[in-house]
Amino acid sequence: MTGRVQTAVVGVTGYAGAELARLLLRHPRLHGAPPVFAGRVEEKDLARGGVPLIEIHPQLAGDNGNGNLKQEPFSWELLAERGVEVLFLATPHEQSRAWVPQALARGLRVIDLSGAWRLTDAANRAIYAFEDEGSNQAAATQAQAVYGMPELYREKIAGARLIANPGCYATSVILAVKPLAAAGLLDLDHGVIADAKSGVSGAGKAPTPKTHFMYAADNLSAYGVFTHRHTGELLEQIGIDAGDMVFTPHLLPIPRGIFSTIYVRFKQPLTRSAVSRVYEEFFAGSPMVRFHDKTLPQIQYAVHTNYADIGFQLDASGRRAVIVSCLDNLLKGAAGQAVQNLNVMLGWPESEGLA
């Protein structure tokens, strides 16, 4: 695909969906070809052809024609009529599980923001309890999925028909640990500890007792200990066993952002320059990773960007390191990474429309 590309977004009503709409509407390569927005439309809105986008997300209003865009009733016929070539699914895992095979059968390329197709190991997928687990169709679809982290799989993404966008926590931890693991530096007998904290938007738009203001404000809580769905992504992508890592997510009383503190031990003493060189070489040519050699990252500098910020401190022995990784869970952890994958898929500059 080299000319104008028609995209569609299903699931625009959520937090990640809002960011996805904003990025695609501003993308220089998509000027004049706004996405088709499709989803569930209540009967009262059918007479007007759907729900105006600016009623769902008033922040997208302006003089750029967005006022004419609507979320229309989803159908495969609608996508075909509009000439959609790339479909973004910001839908629940179960919905993506059902729709992705149908989309592929219709010749669409898919970027799925859910966890439906991220995991290759059935033991790791078990936490989702997918009803179609073990079916021939699920296996065939999974075989086509490429894990959508350009820093790891840029070449595979370029030719992919199905991209499984990574989880937000997973992105933060994998980018911090993978360079060290790939270089064979980690002493896994001492394990890896990943202590990660996310803003409330990471839990999605649907309110829950634990994301209620009265619970989350002025509070810090751990959850999903040993059971979080992103754990399987960490194990598969870093290339370690379950016994080699402890991952603990926490809920921060802020709207957005992820702050991961990761503790590792090396097989032998290393100098700071040696560790820095590993990161710099691994992320050479990766415009959406900012390696901080002199300072540690902070959430305030990563939010509202598509950058993953990574830095570390080495102890006096050269055997232990603390790595800090920050990103915006709605951008590099979701919608921004999805657009980054679109760029790579279509052969466009990786950071276009993002930096």
Cite the active site residues: 168
CA distances from 241 to 77, 188, 191, 238, 249 (A): 44, 9, 10, 9, 19
Look at residues 170, 151, 153 and name the one whose alpha carbon lies nearest to residue 162.
Answer: 153
Q: What's the CA gap between 57 and 95, in Å, rounded?
A: 23
Q: Which residues pair with 289 in a beta bridge?
A: 308
Alpha helices in 242-290 (DSSP H): 272-282
Q: What's the CA gap between 148 and 191, in Å, rounded?
A: 26
Where is 278: in which H helix or E strand?
helix 272-282
Q: What share of the chain is helix, strand, coil (3-state, %, to 5)?
A: 40, 20, 40
Neighbours of 244 (CB within 10 A): 17
DSSP label at residue 165: P
Is residue 28 within 8 A of residue 346, CB to CB? The reply is no
Q: What's the CA gap between 281 and 347, in Å, rounded?
A: 23
Structure tokens of 330? 């709605």
HSE, CB side, 13 Å, CA atoms: give it for residue 17: 24
Q: Is 220 exposed, middle or buried (0-12, 13-18, 19+ CB in 10 A)?
A: exposed
Q: What's the CA gap between 175 and 142, in Å, rounded?
A: 23
Structure tokens of 91? 């839908």
